[in-house]
Amino acid sequence: MSDTTDTTASDTGKRDTGSGLAVVSKAVAHDSAVKHVTGTAAYVDDIREPAGTLHVAPGYANIAAGRITTLDLAGVLRAPGVVRVLTADDVVAVNDVSPKEAGDEPLLAAEQVTFHGQVVFAVVAETRDEALRAVRKARIGHAPSMPVIDVDDALAGDAKVLPDYVFERGELDSEMKRVPRHLKGEVRVGGQEHFYLEGQVALAVPGEQGEMLVYSSTQHPSEVQEVVARVLGLQAKDVVVETRRMGGGFGGKESQATQWAALAALAATRTGRPCKVRLDRDDDMIMTGKRHDFRIDYEIGCSRTGVLRTVQASLAARCGHSEDLSLGVVDRAMFHADNAYYYPVVKITSQRLRTNTVSNTAFRGFGGPQGMMLPERIMDHIAFETGQDPLDIRKQNLYGDVGRDRTPYGMRVDDNILPELVEQLETTSDYRARRAEIDAFNASSPILKKGLALTPVKFGISFTLIHLNQAGALVHLYRDGSIRLNHGGTEMGQGLFVKVAQVVAEEFGADLDQVRITATSTDKVPNTSPTAASAGTDLNAQAALIACRAIKDRLYAFIKERWQVDREQVVFRDNQVLVGNQTMSLGELATAAYVDRVSLTATGFYKTPDITWDREKVAGQPFFYFAYGAACSEVIVDTMTGEMRVTRVDILHDVGRSINPAIDIGQIEGGFVQGMGWLTAEELVWDSAGRLMTHAPSTYKIPTASDVPADFRIELFESGGNRADSIYRSKAVGEPPLMLALSVFSAIVNAIVSLKPAVMPRLDAPATPEAIMRAIRATGGR
């Protein structure tokens, strides 16, 4: 095809998006909603298996670190239904499933074990049950070594997966001497299991001459394609990866869906039969990475009234046994270690620690949430020391006008709406009156204490690995006027597919049901980026729009030639095309164009403009724009047991001009609750041998319905649209709302502070009842 349009969307956003839109801006349902509720939405495990499909189950050694001395799989092979076993020796080409072929993520570990749960062999059997049972028959001899488990272990041993990295501005030492107040502290932030409801799964179907078709539940089909080809010694042209939908991703299927797809494909190659890997939930939790947990140390200087002058902080992240995406994750923690606040003189250091635990990976926010714990803790700490309301401290430290608008990494914050947004939420949440009520309540309540906090979020939008900020789409217009849409983004529940379809329908003036949404597939749109960084709609909707416009440009040319009507006199609306004075259906126009031999298919390609980042020089403008929001949360804490309830939440969030308010609100409240779970109840516990103790929902507790306050108020901020030239002036919404949950955490701190401790209570996340009691005890409060 020679008709690829390779431009950035020149005229998007320039038209008035506030009126005259038929499909975009409407709260239409998720495209699969009816299929979801009837159980007819097919996930990978629901695809009818080709006859003869085999099932693969992985096995691992019961050590976190050490060497495998013997691998006796005779019992496995004898077990009922077993067709064969796979070990490192069976890998066709490269035994590495790491994103960048770093050589640190074997598909099947050969000799060295670097975490508990690392796959050493896999069983291929006629049924999944037989495969899972056979795994237990393995006899693995090993010579264990002392594992490095947590951040403190790794710091003590100086074990790193990557070099340290620093953001620095100003003369820290001299400025520190000049500031009147110094504060110092430490906070620990726990990791988080993704707990996508659909676990990792892939079905590989071998084809002719080494071809491989892989159905994978992945956010990154192109990477799965690349890794499958790498492992099998094939080229990208030989492997097709298809993803219709995931039952949740949250980052957990960005880089870590590849291993299971590669394992299925290897089994399919070795047996010549279709093979499926679907991890058991416990295996999934043991074998796949999580959100990085951090130890954060800080020392700050501020004015007597609490305005920050200096910030020095160290972010130490547990990366696990391999690099995976830790470079970007920890960078993003640094990019958000300011959150919404101006740091005049600053030094932020990060350490990427190597441990004998599963390799931590992307998780909604990608390090940003952990980074933001630092500034929010600092704000609470300053408020404690100065005796002021934490909200006042936050407000006076927000980014401001010129002179107070440079981030620690040098980018200017030129689209800041937080002063206005925070002010509005302060009013609508009735913050001041509730503060007074809570003070009165706490004064008369010895056991139960309430807390209140209003915290902002500023989140940078774009992949900081600049080349990922590109997307492709493929649009077909058929002779009957219906449209088939494909693009490189994947659907994991976030509503990307419907938003892109809305943009396409709007462009053709067609009803949404005229647009058929199709599975992401590496043979339709190649070389795609992961669906991540909240950028799915920003990138893919632009690409789709460009594809639509390429087709429309040809239709305009055809119309001009056939009817001598200029494009300005052509309107696509209500499934009709108004051509001057005549009206025809889109199908009639398409048919006429087809008969005139006009191509009705186009690809579209988009790359985000105006972004730069030089990591070595710490210079550039890595973000296209910032997304903003704020939340006000109220909690009540039982100071005898540490039990806590969130009693009210008010959120005001900026999505620019929403393409679909229902989908956007869903992202906001879902992200908030997921963040609340991370900060309050979801606790990952490893034993001293490096084994994860919380590897099932019976022991790892994500929020349930009753944890969400009945009084939960969410508003979209009326911003007038994104200042950046984004699709319909909307803003990305996938990740930013997760960090609104820091308001819950600060509210808990606030409740503990009401006990009037002598020192700032050190509350670590997650704030389980036990963590809350530990913080209370440390204050001498009870």
Partner 1 sequence: MRDVVRFIRRGAMTEVGDIAPTDMVLDYLREREGAKGTKESCREGDCGACTVVVRRRRQDRLVYEPINACITMLGQIDGADLITVDDLADDDGDLHPIQRAFVDHHASQCGFCTPGFVMALFALYHTSAPPVARERINDQIAGNLCRCTGYRPIVDAAMTALANPRADRFGENARETAEMLAFLNDGEDLMVGDQRRFFAAPATIDGLAALVEEHPDAVILAGGTDVALWVNKQRRTFDKIIHVGRAAGFDAIEDSGLEWSLGAGARLADVEATLGAVDPDLRELLRRFGSRQVRASGTIGGNVANGSPIGDLPPALIALGATVHLRKGSAERSVPIDDFFIDYGKQDREAGEIVTAVSVPKLGTAHRFRCFKVSKRFDQDISSVMGAFRFTVSDQGTVDEARLAYGGMAATPRRAKAAEAALTGAQLQDSTRWTEAFNALREDFEPISDHRASARYRIETAHALLGKALIELAGADSQRTRVVGQRPPTDARERL
Per CB under 8 A, contacts with partner 1 among 701-740 are 701-708, 710, 712
Alpha-carbon distance of 744 to 647, in angstroms, equals: 10
Supply the minimum distance, in Å, between the C-beta of residue 711 and partner 1: 11
What residues numbered 25-84 form the site for partner 1, per CB under 8 A?
27, 29-30, 32-43, 45-46, 48
Residue at token pair 């529940």:
493
Q: Is residue 764 part of the contact set for partner 1 (CB under 8 A)?
A: no
Residue from 153, 280, 338, 654 that binds partner 1 (CB under 8 A)?
A: 280
Amino acid letter at 159?
A
Beta carbon of residue 74, minimum distance to partner 1 (angstroms, whole number): 18
Strands 119-125 and 82-86: antiparallel
**CB nearer to partner 1: pick between 397 and 520:** 520
Can you tell me which of 197, 436, 619, 759 binds partner 1, judged by CB under 8 A?
197
Catalytic residue among 223, 376, 426, 735: 735
Assess contact for 212 and 234: CB atoms under 8 A.
yes
Query: Is 1 a binder of partner 1 (CB under 8 A)?
Result: no
Closer residue to partner 1 (CB): 28 or 600: 28
The reply to whether 246 sits near partner 1 by the rule CB under 8 A is yes
Is 649 exposed, middle or buried (CB count within 10 Å of its CB: 0-12, 13-18, 19+)? buried
Query: 257 and 202 in contact (C-beta within 8 Å)?
Result: yes
Instruction: Give the integer Cα–Cα distance in Å for 205 and 455.
Output: 49
Distance CA 527, CA 673 (A): 34
- Cα dihedral angle (102, 105, 111, 113), rounded to 10 degrees? 120
| Residue number with CB closer to partner 1 (147 or 509) | 147
Q: Does the annotation mark 683 as catalytic? A: no
177 binds partner 1 (CB under 8 A): no
Q: Which of residues 157-176 bind partner 1 (CB under 8 A)?
A: none
Site string for partner 1, 283-302 (x = CB under 8 A): --------------------
> Which member of 313, 535, 773, 775 binds partner 1 (CB under 8 A)?
773
Q: Is 126 in the site for partner 1 (CB under 8 A)?
A: no
Residues 634-693 close enough to bind partner 1 by CB under 8 A: 636-638, 640-645, 662-663, 665-666, 669-674, 681, 683, 685, 693
| Shortest reach from residue 702's CB to partner 1, in Å | 6
At its nearest, how many Å lie between partner 1 and the CB of residue 481?
24
- Cβ-in-10-Å burial (0-12, 13-18, 19+) of 670 comes to middle
Contact 490, 358 (CB under 8 A): no
The 3-state DSSP class for residue 765 equals strand
Start-to-end CA span in the chain (Å): 73
Q: Which of 138, 511, 119 lies closest to 277 in space, CA to CA?
A: 119
Write the binding mask 198 to 217 for partner 1: x where contact by CB under 8 A, - elsewhere: xx------------------
Q: Which 471-510 residues touch partner 1, going by CB under 8 A?
A: 492-495
The nearest distance, CB 706 to partner 1, in angstroms, is: 4
List the interface residues with partner 1, window 412-471 (CB under 8 A). Answer: 445, 447-448
Considering beta carbons, is residue 466 or 662 the nearer one to partner 1?
662
Please report how close the Cβ of residue 442 comes to partner 1 at its closest, in angstroms: 12
292 within 8 A of 258, measured Cβ to Cβ? no
Beta carbon of residue 453, minimum distance to partner 1 (angstroms, whole number): 17
Applying CB under 8 A, the span of 345-353, 426-434, 623-631, 765-773 interacting with partner 1 comes to 765-773
| 781 touching partner 1, by CB under 8 A | no
766 prior amide bond cis, ω within 30: yes
| Residue count of the chain | 782
User: What sign does the dihedral 69-75-80-84 (CA atoms) show?
Assistant: positive
What's CA 308's distance to the chain center, in Å?
Answer: 30
Count of chain residues binding partner 1 (CB under 8 A): 87
Handedness of CA 83, 85, 86, 90 (dihedral sign): negative
Catalytic machinery residues: 735
